[in-house]
Structure 1
Amino acid sequence: MATAKQKITLNASRDIPFHKLVLSQSNVRRIKRGETIEDLAASIERRGLLQSLNVRPTLDDEGNETGMFEVPAGGRRYRALELLVRHKRMAKTEPVPCVVTDAHSTVPIEEDSLAENFQREDLHPLDMFRAFQTLHGRGASHEEIAARFFVSPTFVQQRLRLAKASPKLLEIYEQEGMTLEQLMAFTVTDDHARQEQVWEALENSWSKEPYQIRRMLTETTVRVSDRRALFVGVDTFVAAGGNVLRDLFEADNGGWMQDPALLDRLVGEKLKSVADEIAGEGWKWIVVDVDLPYGHNHGLRALAGIPADLTEEERAEREALRAEYDRLEAEYGEVDDLPDDADRRLGEIESALEAFESRPMIYDPAEIGRAGVFISIDRDGNLVVDRGYVRPDDEAPETADGDGAGDPTESVDGRGNPSVHRTTINVGAQASEPEEDEGEAIKPLPERLVIELTAHRTLALRNAVGASPHVAITALLHRLVVDTFGQRSSNGCVEASIRHSYLPVQDAGLKDSPAAKALDERHHAWKGDIPLDDDEALWAWLDGIDDASRQALLAHCVSYGINALYERPNPYGGGGVSQHGLDQRLREADRLSAATGLDMVDAGWRPTVDNYLGRVTKSRILQAVREGAGEQAAQLIDHMKKGDMAREAERLLADSGWLPEPLRLIGDFWGTEAQAEEVEALPEFLSGDGGDSSDVSADAAQAIAAE
């Protein structure tokens, strides 16, 4: 018969008065680390002793117990209790929970001390974060949690910030798939989809350092230290709806502004406001740019201005500041390290005196009317206004006797009446009234406009694919075949998923477009039928519907993965789309458009002032009218100002079926010959029947075109 293995016997626990305990000299801990004795004492006072002391009875020379106990494991707890007794916050006879080891044990007493410290495992940061999160959810502030656990409020904020990471990344970190430093880097942004996208791009890379993760997450943002951000100010940016990313784990110099387009708009608006104010001084032109190019004033004549005179009060203030500056310099001239107050005051005086020296210049009014101003921002975000430059073409012509041709501010119109001088303000590459002749060159469409146009196309294409099960199934099968037989690999089980791509840039009318309304109606109709709360019920429901319904539902789901959006390619790889990927995306969008028979005209898109005509150059407007309504229609409006031209072009193109390039299929052709038969009928006196239209006065043509 087999003998049962002897079970272990655990050491007994008992309460021992504190004055019966002494610290053992066999404790292996010699070096002080981590939490201080004072902090531990405060914790015991708040929560009690959470962990018993490990003790052994002391023996006399004959091997008998003396009634005293030495503490080989738990020395820091013993010293914290000792501190509480010394400060009269605990009685010296207070019973202390102890685990008593046999005094005659064969295990050396040093081993007890080593085992308790060596086998201890630190709390996982995720467990700490979740505990902090629970306390915070119960109403405890960062400061209160920090005080309870004797850490800094910043430490608590950092651990709570781990909640900003995607649950998928938290799971990877928990399974030791990434380091804590890498996880911290992901908390720069709250966008879980972007976090996961960056990790997918880096997880198989040899280099996935935290700084690289932060760079990829913030590559489409603007640092707060950027000159544009300093010029506008963080408060103004946030008040306008912008978001500032902050990194609690690294020095971020103020963070990153997340919406560069909003920042550029605020910069432009502020610079334009300054330009409008300076225009009231009577300058002929004003050039505004965030960063003027090198040599921007080359070949221009600089006006010689006279500094504005100081008033008596300003002179007295300047002298008082100089006297105070001299007094402070004399007082602290021999001191190696200036006091903070004195150093700050000297800086204030220097700034005030510099303002007196850089006071506005006074220019000859006769020169102001032919000269201009440059407005920009310096590297520190300060406004720079550089007045008084004359272009060679604006110099006053010389008469026979050497005198100038006259005051440039006094000109007349075609009827002999004095004209009103208006300043031309150029903001970057855009000019405000009065307009200059743009020439015949057709400039590329603005990038934001292309993105908005392709957002319309994406939504219309989703609607078309959702209504065509055959095309949707073909598109899905194409995706699966490429993944199965191509060179790509996936990490999941099937990895055939629909990632709903959002449209970050869109115009105000997109949500009210026919495609948007049709998609919403179809989506809500399906959502009302599908049992989404129970996975088993969903499977049974899908298994039971007829084939036509299954195909229609599949088409609807596939449609949400359609992305025909133009976006700026990322030349650095990683996040975003490459040029090759963008080209492939747009080619496939054309193929889907052809397969579904998508026509953006039938989808409800029409060129308007808001969505196209008011946001392109006059050359682009005329080109659109030539292609959509014919050359004669373009000639009717080519003399108009841009605003009037855009409004009239909207009327002329309303039923023409004309589309801008981003909305056309490859192979679509627009030209005056193709549209010759569809030109809007002209009035009799402008048509060939009533005589040569070239004899018609410009005033009559303008009146007809602007009706």
Structure 2
Amino acid sequence: MIKSVKVKNLSLSNDNVRKRGREVGLEELAASIAANGLLQNLVVTPLKKAGTFTVKAGGRRLRAIQLLIGRGALAADHEVPVLVLSVDDAASVGASLAENRQRVPMNPADDCLAFKHLIDQLGMTVEQVAIQQAVTVRFVEQRMRLADLAPAIFEALGSDEIDLGVAQAYAVTADVDRQARVFEQMKHSYYGKQPDNIRRAILNGTVRPNDAKARFVGREAYVAAGGRIDGDLFALDTDDENWTDVDLLEDLATKKLEAAAAELAAAQGLAFVTPIAATHVPYDVERQLHEFHPVARPLTDEEQARIEALGLENDALIEALETDLAEGTPEANAANDRVETIEREIAEIDTARKTIDPGVKANLGTFVYIGGDGEARVHTRLFSEKPLADPRAGGAASGNGAGPGETGSGDDAVADPSPRLSATLIEELATQRRQILVAHVASDPMIALDLTIFLMAQSLVFTTSYVRDHSTLRADPAQFPIFAFRDEASMASQTIEDQRQHLDTTWVGHTTMSERFDAFRTLPDDARGAWVAFAVAQTLEATLNVADGARANGFHDHLGRLLDIQVACLWRPTAENYFGRVKKDVMLDALEEIGGPILRGRYKDAKKGELAATCAALCNGQGIVEAEIREKATVWLPEAMRFDNVERPERVPARSTFVDDGDAVGSDGDELDGDDLDGSELDSGANPLGDAPTQEPVDDDYPQAA
């Protein structure tokens, strides 16, 4: 029997079979009842007190109504329809169980069509439907996107051939033609029903909004030109979207870069500015031209005096900021502003020293490209089609051909003015002179330090030219273990290229080593420091955090920890550089390390290629997973790429020209006997005449870093 009963006369029965999840969705249910009323009666049995009942089925509805009454949305004496059963425990429990078990969820396809009917046929807005159905606006938009799936996909959803997650993967784009093409391909694939695989196939050939070219062009300009954007309504990030017209984006980026190049060439009076629609200028493109190194003129007496005065003032302000002036006070702010003004004035004086002769500049050019931050960047170096000379250098043209300092030949060779000496006497005199020079250089640490940095820097600058420097000191870039390995696209390689471009080369254009060395010594400490840091860094060989083998080097791991290197910021594992080149078990181990056995089990039956793509997407923040798993995945690294290896003790001989006792010890302090030495260590020192040890020739054909 159905009757109306006041809510205040109802109580929840202990016989209700739903014990868990009673509060799940209660707010949404209350909102739905407030908008549409109670659409299904409650099932009750009478209590001993007349007019009171206990609810056997419909407990969540009762709590939702009580919530509305408590908030004042319904009257305190609000009545609801109930079906009254006889007092029978078996019957009441059975009724509760039947109601909960026989409740069959709607097919997602029917659900989507119902939402579409409310909007398209009944004229309701998305917001109105969201209020009526007690869901979010985004949920309604998601249902509408699914309702507009390609017919074949929507039919598969309605017939339970695919589940809701698969349908959502296809709906990542609104392009139904693309949906249909991918669906046709995927339905014949064994793993064609995995959402991650579908989503990658759908998005292949699209561009993310954080792509350098997308940021350079700008969303507004892209859309104004007719560019299409698909928002992923099913992504965790509500701003997730994909730009689908890649050709249009490329065209817009090229045109914008060309305009920037033309403007720069006109403003600076350059012969050419070549636009490069990429995040770096390819090394091969640079090498087709001759790099020009302008010579900085000496400071005038007035400029030198001004710089010294500014330096003293700057030092005094810095000291006051560190000791006397409290941060945030007007005095401290004024001091900071003055420091910035001083820095700008010094920079202007330095720039004036490097002004290029207009006649020379008219034959020079450079490149403009797109930085990783989406901004147009100008290459810091200048180039020419033919070797050019800076008039202030007073010598031959400089460029990437024959370098300054190259010995002439033929008619240009300079005759040796020295008297005829025997070969033996020449060698002996040269040796004695070398010893005298060495003794003096060794007694002057500052000259020695400048010479060290200069020789290393010069060897880097003139890698393609022969410059006779009469020294064995080099900072030759370490050879890559892989022939012709190129990695300009990585963040690390881009950073190295930026560092290379910003090295101060004002000393390079001089035509003699003496002039170059004197000019080099006038560089500020930070400029010379940048050269030694870059040069030394280039000498580091390729190593890995592995247990053993030729690539193991715990000292490099130690350096990484000292530098607090965050590898994940510069390198992420992809299918191309890692996952596609390891065994399936290695990939599954990575998934387990990221998300535990559950994540591993989710993909244990995937094929190797699809598993590699899944792992790559996950580690690059594109997988659809729980937030905590996503966080772990975006910083996960294979063990070999981590800097957490500890250097093992190594037995090394200590016997050298600096040890007089002849004992040799290992790094663990143990004394080594003669059997531990093979004799080669004792031959590495200089001979009595100071002859330098033989240097192995470098294979010029082997690729070296710029």
TM-score, normalised to structure 2's length? 0.45
TM-score, normalised to structure 1's length? 0.45
